[in-house]
Amino acid sequence: MIMPLGFIVAFFWMAVKLAAIMAVSYLINMLLMPDVKGPEAGDDLSLPSPQIGRHFPVIFGTPPRDAGLFLLWWGDLYIYDKERHHTFYDEHICYYYYYSQHYGVSHAGVSGVVQIWYGDVCMWPTFDDPTVYADDLQTLASVSGRGPFYLWGGDKGEGGYSGETDICLGTSTQGQSSYLAGQLGADNTPNFRGIVTLVMRNNYWGNSPYPKTVSVMTRANTLLTDGSAQWYAAKAAIRTHALNPAHIIRQCLTDTVWGDGRSASLMGDSFATVADTLHTENFGLNYRYYPSPGGLPDFIDDVLLAIDGYLYEDHSTGKFEIGLCRGDYDVDALDAFDEADFTIERFERPAPGDVPCRITLTYRDRSWPDQRPHAVYDDIALQTRQGDRIIEEEIDMPGICDPVLANTVVHRIGRAHSKMASKLRL
């Protein structure tokens, strides 16, 4: 059957008109479609909730960077819709997220915040170089992690990071943050004295609604919690970053904010003697201590274990004294006692099979806190005596951040075990 030519022409023009109407309708809908901008684009923005009721840590030396900061407030959100413009429509590329965060870091008395990280990248003081530390007492951190740097894939990835951060050291004279006062109101903004905080002012956080973790490295070896100068400052800092353990223990006993609150007059002369010895040994420690009820004695014991020291109260003077087990004595000059002076209540001598022949000490890496490097001591002679069995003891010392010191300590502990000393109760 052959259709008439007129019918074919009419059908063709009807199809053309229908296609034209559909194209015009599509273009009108595209032009009238509202752009998705502003807060509507941030419905999936994932940020933690502000935290209350937690204890701020006390910093000793320069411990590994801390990713467990306290979010006190966030706001001042702005989301920019990056588009590519075409003839009849705009193509959405990504969102740029700008907002502010206020973080609590630690108790006051720190020498300074020396690094700021975003995710696994050191952003300040030197971009992407974790070997550089800022000078003490700096109060402004400026980061330019955009442009040629563009972290994590640029526009098609997760963008970068840039902006300025106020480092508030929490001194007794610290004033109100003008930025926070402008956001929250002057009457609702305290001075935040006594704690170290970061005010990250409307920074650019990248293209992803799932921001990475902010972490900081903080140093404290020149000041006390109340902002006064550290005791015996000449022997406080060890290898620039660490703190003398004698100073740590003394501060635990005397600090009136989080410590035992003892008078400095009750600290004996032996603290200075021990500080001299530890400084000569380059024996510096780094801790982030979270105060808790009843937790201070355990923390002091951890420090004493690391330095192989002892702490006691001299009942003749009422003062606290400290000492180190270093074998620095003359046996012939010691007082002598025998069975006429005491009674043996208990005597224990370890069997060779009960003594560990391998000691594994775990310490910390400042820049990479998730890593747990080890120092190992092996007593090959004892292992042979035990029938080539590996009896291992593992010791965790988070205050050590130096591999040389870690090896010194693990060898000292291993040699002490190898001597198989007897235990007496007299």
On the question of pLDDT at 387 being above 70, the answer is yes
**Whether 352 contacts 385, CB under 8 Å:** yes
Q: What is the chain's alpha carbon radius of gyration, rounded to the nearest angstrom?
A: 32
* Distance from C-alpha of 395 to C-alpha of 410, rounded to nearest angstrom: 9
Residue 38: pLDDT band with limits 50, 70, 90 = very low
E strands of 30-120, at which residues?
Answer: 58-60, 70-85, 90-107, 112-118
pLDDT tens digits, 133-172: 999 999 999 988 764 445 655 545 567 788 999 999 999 9
Six-digit token string for 65: 């960077």
Q: What DSSP character marks residue 206?
A: -
Ramachandran sector of residue 185 (left: φ over 0; alpha: ψ -120 to 50; beta: rest): left
Sorted by sequence, the CB contacts under 8 Å of residue 41 that are 6+ apart come out as 79, 81, 95
Q: How far apart are the C-alpha atoms of 197 and 37, rounded to whole Å?
A: 32
The model's pTM is 0.84
* pLDDT value, residue 105: 96
DSSP per residue, 83-104: EEE-SS-EEEEEEEEEEEEEEE
Cβ–Cβ under 8 Å, residues 243 and 220: yes
Answer whether residue 20 shows pLDDT above 80. Answer: no
Look at residue 149 in the predicted model and tell me its pLDDT.
46
Mean of the pLDDT values across residues 202-210? Answer: 87
Q: Could you report the per-residue pLDDT of 324-368, keeping only the tens digit for each?
A: 998 888 999 999 988 899 999 999 988 888 889 899 999 999 988
Assign 3-state DSSP to the chain and report helix, strand, coil percentages, each to 5. 25, 30, 45
**Domain extent listing, the chain:** 38-219, 240-328, 344-425
Q: How far apart, in Å, do the first and last CA atoms of the chain sit?
A: 123
Of residues 368, 308, 289, 412, the one with CA closest to residue 119:
368
Q: Is the pLDDT of residue 29 over 60?
A: no
